[in-house]
Structure 1
Amino acid sequence: MQYISAIVPPLVMAIGFGFLVRAIIRTQGGDQKGKEDAAADALAAAAASAPRTAE
C-alpha cells in the first residue's frame, strides 16, 4: 500500500496542472481577447504614467 501513497500526490499534481494548462489555453483569444487586451493596455498606460521615485 506504500506505492499507492507514494504515487497519489504526484498524480494529483499532474492532473491539477493539466486542468490549469487547459484553463489557460481556453481563456486565450476568442470573445475575451479584446477585454484582456484592453486591460493589459490600461495597466501598461498606468505604469507608464506613474511617477517614478529615486531609490
Structure 2
Amino acid sequence: MDYVSAIVPPLVMAILFTCVIVTIVKHQGGAQAREDAAVDAAFSKAEAARQAAGDGDR
C-alpha cells in the first residue's frame, strides 16, 4: 500500500493542473472572440462614417 500513497499526491496534482490549463484556455478563447467583435464593430462604424462623409461631398 506504500506505492498507492506515493502515487496519489502527484496524480491529484496532475489532474488539478490539467483542469487549470483547460479553464485558462477556454476563458482566453472567449475573451479573444469578444475583443475581435468589438474591433470589427469599431471598424464597421468608422467605415460607415467615412462613406457617409464621402457621399455628402458629391
TM-score by length of 2: 0.52
Q: Which runs of 5+ in 2 are unaligned?
A: 36-58
Aligned length: 34
Aligned partners of 2:10 and 2:16: how far apart in 1? 10
Aligned Cα root-mean-square deviation (Å): 1.5
DSSP-derived class of the 2:12 partner: helix
Quote the offset at 1:23 in angstroms: 0.2
Quote the offset at 1:29 in angstroms: 2.7
Q: Does 1:3 align with 2:14?
A: no
AA in 2 matched with 1:28: Q
Q: Which structure carries more helix by proportion?
A: 2
TM-score by length of 1: 0.54
Q: Which aligned segments of 4 or more residues in structure 1 are displaced greater than 3 angstroms?
A: 32-35
Q: Which runs of 5+ in 1 are unaligned?
A: 36-55
